[in-house]
Structure 1
Amino acid sequence: MAKIVFGMAVPHSGMLGQKPEDWLTNGDRDRKNPALWYKGKTYTYPELEALRGAAFAPFLTLEERTQRAARCRAALDEMAEAYARANCDVVIVLGKDQKEIWPDQSPSITIYTGDEVHNGPPQRPVYAPDHHVVHQAYPEFATYLINRFQSESFDLNDLMAWPQNTWMEARQGYAPNYPVVPHAYSFVYHQIMGDDVPRHVPVLFNLFYPPTQPSMKRCIEFGRVLREAIEAWPEDVRVGVIASGGLTHFVNDEDFDRDVMGKLAAYDYEGLMTYDDSWYQSGTSEVKIYSIVMMALQQTGAQMTLVDYVPCWRTEAGTGEGMGFMYWAAPEA
C-alpha cells in the first residue's frame, strides 16, 4: 500500500530569484495596484499608506534586504535537503494557474491526467533550467484520484493535456514549441527537486479568481479525501504532498502569518476556518492549500518543522511577501 511520508509548504515568489538590489522595483507595481488585499479588505496604495504609515521603511535598506535574501536562500536549500531525505517515489504537487494557461476560465479544482510536464525557457531562471526539460506525470494515479474524489462529491476538472502558456508569450515575448507549466509547479521542480522530478500528479486550484474559489473548508475536506485515497492506492510507494505558494502577499501581515503557522503546527483546522474567506484573497489565498498538506500528514504523527519565516518588504507601507518555509516528515518513514 502507498505510504505518505512527507509534506511541504513553500513560497514560489519571483523575489526569491531576484537580487536584493532589485526588490524595490516590485514596489512600483504595488503602488499602481488598485486592489491591495489586507485583513479582508482592499486598499489603493495611498489608502494603505494612510493606514500603515511608513512603518516599514527601516526594512528597505540594502543591508536589510541582503540579509533577508540570504535567509531565504538558506531556507530553500534546507527545504530541498529535507525533500531529498524523504526519498519520495511519487509526489502530489498542489498549486494554481494564475491566468497563465487559462486566461478565459477558472476551473475550481483540476487534476492533470496527462503523461508529461514541460519546463524551461522562457520561464525565469528561478523557475526553470536554461533548457527544455520533460518530467513524467502519473496518469494512472491521477485518474484514480479523480474517481475517488468524484465518489466523495467533488466534481473535478480533468486536464488531459497542458494548454500553451499564454502568459509566457505575453510577458516574456515569445512562446516555445512546448507548453511551459505554470510557475507554481516550475518552482517546485527546479528549486526543491533540482529538476530531478519523480512521477507526480499536479493538482490545480483556482485560488485567485471569484466566484469559483474553493473555500478553506473545502480544501481541508480535499485533504481528507486525498489522504484516504493515497493510503488505499495498492502500489508500494512513498508519497509526498507539496503545496506551492503563500504566505501573505502582496501586503505583508506578519501577525496573520505567525498565527496561521501556529495553527498549521497544531493541526488546528477550526482555527484556520475562523478567518473569513475574505482574508484568503490575492496571493494570500495560497495558504488554503497548506491545510491539505497538514491533513495528509496528520495521521503519520509528523510535527511541522518551521525552517524559517522571512517577511520580505518592498515599500514603506508594507507591501511585499511573507516567505514561510515549512515541512512535515513522517517519523520512522
Structure 2
Amino acid sequence: MAKIVFGMAVPHSGMLGQAPEDWLTNGERDRNNPELWFRNRTWTYPELEAHRGAAFEPFLTIEERTERAARCRAALDKMADAYKRAKVDVCIVLGKDQKEIWPDQSPSITIYTGEDVHNGPPQRPVYAPDHHVVHKAYPELATYLIKAFQKEGFDLNDLQAWPENVWMEKQRGRKADYPVVPHAYSFVYHQIMGDEPPPHVPVLFNLFYPPTQPSMARCIEFGRVLREAIAAWPEDVRVAVIASGGLSHFVNDEEFDRDVMGKLAAYDYEGLAAIPDGYYQSGTSEVKIYSIVMMALQPTGAAMTLVDYVPCWRTAAGTGEGMGFMYWNPEEAPAAA
C-alpha cells in the first residue's frame, strides 16, 4: 500500500531569484497597488504607511537584504536535501495558477490527469533550467484521486492537457513553443527536485481570485480525503505531499506568520480555520494549502521541522514576503534551524 513519508511547505517567491540589490524594485508595484491585503482588509499604500509608519526602513539596507537572501538560499538548499533524504517515489504537488494559464476563469480545485509537464525558458531562471524539459505526471493516480474525492462530495475540475502559459508572452515578452507549467510547480521541480521530479500529480487551487476560492476548512477537509485516498492506493510507493507558496505577502505580517507556523506545528486545524478568511487573501492565501500537508502527515506523528523563517521587505511600510521553510519527515528527528 502507498505510504506518505514526507511533507513540505516552501515559498516560491520571485524574490528568491533576485539579487539583493534588486529586492526594492517591486516596491514601486506595491506603492501603486490600490488593494494591499493586510489584517482582514485592503489598504492603499499611503494608508498602510500611515498605519505602520516607516518601521521597516532599517531592514531595507543592502546589508540586511544580503544577509536575508543568504539565509533564504541556505534554507532552500536544506529543503532540497531533506526532500532527497526522504527517497520518495511519487509526489502530490499543491499549488495554484495565478492567471498564467487561465486568464479568464478560476476553477476552485483542479487535478491534472495528463501525461506530461513542461518547464523551461522563457520561464525565469529561478523557476526553470535554461532548456526545455518534460516531466512525467501520474495520470492513473490523478484519475483515482478525482474519483476518491467525488465519493466524498468534492466536485473537481479535470485538467487533461496544459493550456498555453499566456503569462510568458505578457511578462516575459515571448511565447513558449510548449505549455510552460505555472511557477508554483516549476519552482518545486527546479529548486527542490533538481529538475528530476518523480511521477507526480499537480493539484491546482484557486487561492487568489474570488468568488471560487476554497476556504481554509475546505482545504483541511481536502487534506483528510487525500490522506485516506493515498493510504488506499494499492501500489507500494513512498509518497510526498508538497505545498508551494506562502507565507504572508504582499504585505509582510510576521506576527501572523509565526502564529500560523505555530498552529501548523501543533496540528491545530481549528485554530487555522478560525482565522477570518480576510487574512487569507492575495499571496497570503497560499497558506491554505499548508494545512493539506499538515493533515496528510498527522497520522505519521511527524514533528514539523522549521528550517528558517525569513521576512523579506521591499518598502518602509512593510510590503514584501514572509519566507517560511518547513518540512515533515516521520523517519527522522526534527532538524535544528
TM-score by length of 1: 0.99
Do residues 323 (structure 1) and 323 (structure 2) align? Answer: yes
Question: Could you report, residue by residue, the CA deviation over 1:61-101 in whole angstroms, capped at 9, with x for unpaired residues?
Answer: 00000000000000000000000000010000000000000
Q: Is the 8 A contact 1:168 1:175 kept in 2?
A: yes
Question: Could you report, residue by residue, the CA deviation over 1:121-157 in whole angstroms, capped at 9, with x for unpaired residues?
Answer: 0000000000000000000000000000000000000
What does residue 85 of structure 2 align with?
85
Q: Is the 8 A contact 1:252 1:320 kept in 2?
A: yes
Q: Is the 8 A contact 1:20 1:65 kept in 2?
A: yes
Question: Could you report, residue by residue, the CA deviation over 1:211-252 in whole angstroms, capped at 9, with x for unpaired residues?
Answer: 000000000000000000000000000000000000000000
1:77, 1:276 → 2: CA distance? 34
CA drift at 1:330: 1.6
User: Quick one: which amino acid aligns to residue 159 of structure 1?
Assistant: L
CA drift at 1:180: 0.1
Do residues 158 (structure 1) and 166 (structure 2) align? Answer: no
4+ residue runs of structure 1 moved beyond 4 angstroms? none
2:196, 2:97 → 1: CA distance? 22
What does residue 70 of structure 1 align with?
70
2:321, 2:297 → 1: CA distance? 26
2:158, 2:99 → 1: CA distance? 17
What does residue 297 of structure 1 align with?
297
Structure 2 unmatched runs, 5+? none
What does residue 237 of structure 2 align with?
237
1:280, 1:203 → 2: CA distance? 19
Q: Is the 8 A contact 1:301 1:331 kept in 2?
A: no
Question: Could you report, residue by residue, the CA deviation over 1:36-60 in whole angstroms, capped at 9, with x for unpaired residues?
Answer: 0000110000000000000000000
Q: Secondary structure at the match of 2:26?
A: helix
1:267, 1:93 → 2: CA distance? 20
User: Quick one: which amino acid aligns to residue 78 of structure 1?
Assistant: K
Structure 1 unmatched runs, 5+? none
Question: Could you report, residue by residue, the CA deviation over 1:264-288 in whole angstroms, capped at 9, with x for unpaired residues?
Answer: 0000000101111111000000000
1:115, 1:160 → 2: CA distance? 8
What does residue 175 of structure 1 align with?
175
What does residue 187 of structure 2 align with?
187
2:25, 2:327 → 1: CA distance? 31
CA drift at 1:332: 6.6
What does residue 50 of structure 1 align with?
50
2:172, 2:295 → 1: CA distance? 37
What does residue 262 of structure 1 align with?
262
Do residues 119 (structure 1) and 124 (structure 2) align? Answer: no
CA drift at 1:331: 2.5
Q: Secondary structure at the match of 1:25?
A: coil
Question: Could you report, residue by residue, the CA deviation over 1:182-237 in whole angstroms, capped at 9, with x for unpaired residues?
Answer: 00000000000000110000000000000000000000000000000000000000
What does residue 274 of structure 2 align with?
274
2:11, 2:214 → 1: CA distance? 20
2:130, 2:54 → 1: CA distance? 39
Question: Could you report, residue by residue, the CA deviation over 1:1-35 in whole angstroms, capped at 9, with x for unpaired residues?
Answer: 00000000000000000000000001011000000
CA drift at 1:307: 0.1
What does residue 141 of structure 1 align with?
141
Cα RMSD (Å): 0.8
1:177, 1:64 → 2: CA distance? 40
1:227, 1:33 → 2: CA distance? 39
What does residue 288 of structure 1 align with?
288
What does residue 220 of structure 2 align with?
220
User: Quick one: which amino acid aligns to residue 67 of structure 1?
Assistant: E
Count residues in correspondence.
333
Closer, same or farther: CA 332–192 of 1 in aligned 2, 3 Å: closer
1:332, 1:113 → 2: CA distance? 32
Percentage of pairs with the same residue: 83
User: Quick one: which amino acid aligns to residue 142 of structure 2?
Assistant: A
CA drift at 1:177: 1.2
Q: Is the 8 A contact 1:300 1:331 kept in 2?
A: no
1:71, 1:134 → 2: CA distance? 31
